[in-house]
Amino acid sequence: MSIKTFLIGKPIETVKEKYERLSKKMGLAVFSSDPLSSVAYGTEEILFVLVGGGAALLNYLVPIAIAIVILVAIVATSYYQTIHAYSSGGGAYIVAKDNLGTYPGLVAGSALLIDYVLTVTVSVAAGIAAITSAFPSLRAHTVLLCLLSILFITIVNLRGVRESGKVFTLPVYIFIGSLLLLIGASLMKSFSVPQITYKELNATTSNIFPIFIILKAFASGCATLTGIEAVSNGVRAFKAPEAKNAGITLIWMAFILGILTIGIAYFSHYYAILPNENETVLSQLARTIFSKGPVYYTIQFATALILILAANTSYSDFPRLSSIMANDRYLPRQLSNRGDKLVFSNGILILSFLSALLLVLFRGETHLLIPLYAVGVFTAFTLSQAGMVKHWIKDKGKGWFKSAVINGIGGIVTGVVLVIIAVEKFSHGAWIVLIAIPALVLLTQKIHKYYLSVAEQLSLERCLIGEKEFKHHSVIIPISGLQQAVINAVRYAKALSDDVTAVYVCIDEMETVRIKQKWDRHCMGVKFIILESPYRSITQPLIDYIDEVHNTYQDGVITVVLPEFVPSKWWHHLLHNQTALFIKGILLFKKGVVSTSVPFHLKE
């Protein structure tokens, strides 16, 4: 407990939950770090595609960035309406489930859960890439640095919502300020430095039809939109009035994201920055403007930090969404439980494990992970907007037609983008996500079916009045010797029933004789049965005897009392066998048999 308290702090009372909620400024840092951080690699991903089409296609960088910003505005406006219509949170999952049906809701929820895992992996990998760009000697330790970053973010999030907000607020605002400084300095320098053309850089040409390259570049750049839905999923994390504060935060985020996206793309094009495997585009732009001085390293450090901490958006939303789905019985119920710090600890730990696994499998390479990205989030975007259109048509409240048109446009645009991303990225790894989403949907349906079956079987309506009672109670005490723990178990067993039998499995004839002699002196009138075990098995003869007793008293119940001594220190357990635990595990699956332990606590 002392280690746990050191890592995540003291528990928080449930009644203090309202004091753990976020202000708008802190909410911007917690929920917007993912989309804002994508500015650091969005332009680079566009350039990686365009550079394969020759110098002429590189001129489409800025138009593509503008198209992405327009898409950001459409999606943000649509989600602004979602926030006010569904102020309880849940985002695309709740909207699609309520308006389109269970299956579309599960598709949206599954798509988002997968996207949140990928958000962590891409954000952390991109953050470490920024560090290795400034310090190439660290490149060999990429995976280790990624895993350490995930461990840090996990611990911070386990400490609570407000605690994580305090940690992440300053880095987010430093990043925003440093990029605005970079854009401003780039603008000032452009007055004295003429624009550099890509023709001077000997870019290669391509025979691929240009429109396909442009669409592919657009699909890659759409990674910028991931995380925009985070605010709508976490409305309940804001201080009251929740919907108003969440909506304002969403507008701030979209506005800042638009300025940074166009600014970085425009000046990367102005100074003819090309993607480089050993240095990010943002690093090249900063070096071009500031050289390798204090400002350059500040930008790199801020970028690395925001990219790593951008994973926090997923850490805020993955546990919340999974808890909502768990409450609906589509995911394991453990995911709906809050931990000591009023956060969904199990969801946080699962997200960390899955993200770490992906980072190891893909060696922390951003460009290997990016193709998996954005398919899930645009699936959720499309279903959410379609659900909102149906919501407005069904509700027909004030201004419903205008709202339906806005969400309708959002749904059409995000649907088209989804098709483009799925087609363009399919062969590069998007097929994995397109398979993973229906697989997760199938799993959630099986979980739901299981929970419904359990609820039906446990229902009080199935209890029959006058159902027969147990007519006999047999108590069996398995022993391995005779000492105080066994004597305690015998006393307990005698309080349960008059039919008590101690059972000893004979492995050694000499030891069996000694045990029998001791038993005759201390038995307290309890029967003692010796079971033969020619193959030295402890459990099988015991199970056979229990089955024999059960067949004799088919209308009865059997209680197996297990004598156990409890060491004073945890490591002392390693010095003793765990036979009792193994027996309990076997008996758990036998009908009509109950097992219970009688502990005897040892002193130091």
Q: What percent of the chain has pLDDT over 70?
A: 90
The structural domains of the chain, with segments of one domain joined by +, span 19-451, 473-601
Mean pLDDT of 288-299: 86
pLDDT score, position 454? 86
Q: Is the pLDDT of residue 497 over 80?
A: yes
Is the pLDDT score of 330 beyond 80?
yes
Looking at residues 394-399, what average pLDDT do you find? 80
What's the farthest any 2 CA atoms get from each other in the chain? Answer: 104
For residue 205, pLDDT over 50 is answered with: no
Cis peptide bond prior to 241, omega within 30° of 0: yes
Q: Could you read off the pLDDT of 510-561 as tens digits, one per residue?
A: 888 888 888 877 767 788 899 988 877 888 889 999 999 989 888 889 999 9
Q: Which residues contact 7 (CB under 8 A, 6 or more apart)?
A: 155, 158, 159
Number of alpha carbons in the 13 Å side-chain half-sphere of residue 22: 32
Residues 6+ apart with CB under 8 A from 225: 35, 38, 68, 71, 72, 75, 374, 377, 378, 381
Mean pLDDT of 437-464: 86
Residue with the larger pLDDT of the pair 193 and 246 = 246
Count H helices and E strands in the chain, helices first: 23, 5
The per-residue pLDDT of the chain, averaged, comes to 83
57 CB-near residues (< 8 Å, 6+ apart): 50, 206, 210, 213, 214, 217
Nearest to 126 by CA among 288, 266, 311: 311
Higher-confidence position of 324 and 376: 324
pLDDT (average), residues 105-122: 88
Task: Give the orientation angle of helix 311-327 with respect to helix 294-309, to 10 degrees.
Answer: 10
Top-confidence residue, 133 or 555: 555
> Residue 224 — pLDDT band, cuts 50, 70, 90?
confident
| Residue 203's pLDDT band (cuts 50, 70, 90) | very low
Q: What does CATH list as the number for 473-601?
A: 3.40.50.620
Report residue 9's pLDDT band, with 50, 70 and 90 as the boundaries. low
CA 48, distance to chain mean position in Å, is: 29
Residue 125 has pLDDT above 90, yes or no: no
Q: Where is average pLDDT lowest: 314-323, 373-382, 489-498, 527-536?
A: 373-382
What pLDDT band is residue 508 in, cutting at 50, 70 and 90? confident
Higher confidence at residue 587 or residue 370? 587
Task: Return all residues near 595 (Cβ < 8 A) that are at least 6 apart.
Answer: 559, 560, 562, 583, 584, 587, 588
| 102-106, 351-355, 455-459, 538-542: the lowest-pLDDT one | 455-459
Q: In the numeric block, which tokens belong to residue 346? A: 């199990």
* Residue 106: HSE in the Cβ half-sphere, 13 Å Cα cutoff: 21
Residue whose pair of structure tokens reads 């397109």 in the numeric block: 434
**pLDDT for res 133:** 72
Q: What is the DSSP letter of 466?
A: T
Amino acid 350: pLDDT: 93
* DSSP character at residue 500: E
Name the residue with higher pLDDT: 575 or 400.
Answer: 400
Kindly list the strands in the beta sheet with 593-601, ordered across the sheet, starting from the edge strand earlier in the chain: 527-532, 499-506, 473-479, 557-566, 593-601
* pLDDT tens string 252-264: 999 999 999 999 9
Pairing of strands 499-506, 527-532: parallel
Cα 84 from Cα 245, distance rounded (Å): 10
Q: What is the pLDDT of residue 502?
A: 92
**CA–CA dist 164, 161 (Å, integer):** 5
Whether 480 and 457 have beta carbons less than 8 Å apart is answered as no
Distance CA(502)–CA(523), nearest Å, equals 9
- Predicted local distance difference test score (pLDDT) of residue 90: 62
SS3 538: coil
Residue 544's region, left for phi above 0, alpha for psi from -120 to 50, else beta, is: alpha
- Residue 368 CB burial class (10 angstroms; 0-12, 13-18, ≥19): middle
The band of 16, judged by pLDDT with boundaries at 50, 70 and 90, is low
Quote the tokens at residue 202.
């000997």
What pLDDT was estimated at residue 331?
Answer: 93
For residue 284, pLDDT over 60 is answered with: yes
The top-scoring range by mean pLDDT among 99-108, 149-158, 566-575 is: 99-108
Residue 260's pLDDT is 92
| Identity of the amino acid at 274 | L
Lowest-confidence segment of 77-81, 123-127, 187-191 by average pLDDT: 123-127
- How sure is the predictor about 209, in pLDDT bands with cuts at 50, 70 and 90? low
d(CA 489, CA 493): 6
Confidence check: pLDDT of 478 > 50: yes
Band (pLDDT 50/70/90 cuts) for residue 107 is very high
Return the structure tokens found at 280.
Answer: 């990010």
Name the residue with higher pLDDT: 15 or 195.
195
Short-list 370, 352, 375, CA closest to 38: 370
Q: Would you tell me which CATH number, out of the four given (1.20.1740.10, 3.30.70.260, 3.40.50.880, 3.30.365.10), belongs to the domain 19-451?
A: 1.20.1740.10
Mean pLDDT of 484-504: 90
Mean pLDDT lowest among 115-119, 169-173, 305-309: 305-309
Strands 527-532 and 557-566, sheet pairing: unpaired
What's the rounded Cα separation, in Å, for the pair 223 and 375? 9
The rounded radius of gyration (Å) of the Cα atoms in the chain is 31
